Amino acid sequence: MEVATISFDKFNVLQDAQAQERIRAARAKLGDRAVLLCHHYQRADVYQHADLTGDSLKLAKLASQTDAEYIVFCGVHFMAEVADILSKDNQIAILPDLAAGCSMADMANLAKVERCWRELTEVLGTPDEQITPVTYINSAADLKAFCGEHGGIVCTSTNAPTILDWAFKQREKVLFFPDQHLGRWTGFKKGIPLEDMHVWDPDLEYGGLTPEQIKSAKVLLWKGHCSVHQMFQESHIRRWRMQHPDGLVISHPESNLDVCKASDYVGSTEYIINTIKAGPDNARWLVGTELNLVNRLAEEEKSRGVVVEFMAPTVCMCSTMQRIDPQHLAWTLENLVEGNVVNQIEVPPHEAELAKVALDRMLAVS
């Protein structure tokens, strides 16, 4: 007999404590049929239930390795898509709230990327022979499929330097999207002059570039950014160092170039966590990444006398990931207990096949 899906309406009014109780009860009933993957930026009242945690690269690998029937992804939409692409055919990827998207990922869509490729064809003649498309994992599945189809690859903030090396071994130029800052920092660290990295504005004809600029560019950087990391400024670091000259600064490479250059360390969320945890006792850190992660680190490292401070004077958190709250998680899990799958993420087969090509290239290189 088919069981009706439990409506979310009643969960919307659940107090947090009630929701937490119901999450625990549903998890006990599901046992190992469901696994909860949580990104490091996830809010604390959801993160506490995670079976597996990590940054985008680590979670992509974990999604491909788990045997659970249900992969409940407490992150954002593109992460659940990756889980669906890399998981086995009999596994189901679920996103507790479909509104949990990514503003950066939305800054590049397939129509604009395909138009960019057509315009590059007009200027270069054969972009498939000259340009390797590289998409940051923070992008929709159809853009990963585009890269799979055109000899390209996916990268994360962890493996971007390795991926850029791979890309240049294939062709002489790189089209990097959707985050210009990660692309610029990675290229800069590889010794590519800033004047050889031009920003492609998808809202302008030919990206707002001249044919000469397109021909001379080593890297074309898509005009996209993370709404959280763009808030960090070099002036924040300068003021903090005046007060704490012996302090250490660590930033995520989605921050702008000036912030990265002014930091002592730059790396992915996993790198930030590992670096601070391996650092000296009684150290003071200024951290340029998402607020939930910084707060969690501050609490965890307090017993060592380590002080972890957030870089920006304003609140910067991943607001879309915040949509995965205890109420949505309880609703998702209780539906699974009743035999209902809600908010399943399914990438169309042809698209998934091509996207997997680009993801498999990344995993092989990483």
Q: What proportion of the chain, given as a percentage, has pLDDT over 70?
A: 97
| pLDDT value at residue 366 | 83
What pLDDT, in 10s, does the model give residues 89-146?
999 999 999 998 888 889 999 999 999 999 999 999 999 999 999 999 999 999 999 9
Task: Quote the CA–CA distance of 320 and 327 in Å, as a whole number.
Answer: 15
Question: What is the pTM for the complete model shown?
Answer: 0.91
The residues that bridge with 134 in the sheet, in sequence order, are: 153, 176
What pLDDT, in 10s, does the model give residues 275-308?
999 999 999 999 999 998 999 999 999 999 999 9
What pLDDT, in 10s, does the model give residues 131-177?
999 999 999 999 999 999 999 999 999 999 999 999 999 999 999 99
Contact between 193 and 199 under an 8 Å Cβ cutoff? The reply is: no
- Pick from 107, 108, 157, 101: nearest CA to 288: 157
Q: What is the mean pLDDT of the chain?
A: 93
| pLDDT value at residue 64 | 82
Task: Quote the CA–CA distance of 144 and 147 in Å, as a whole number.
Answer: 5
Under the banding of pLDDT at 50, 70 and 90, the label for residue 13 is low
Contact between 85 and 355 under an 8 Å Cβ cutoff? The reply is: yes
Q: Per-residue pLDDT for 256 more than 50?
A: yes
Under the banding of pLDDT at 50, 70 and 90, the label for residue 45 is very high
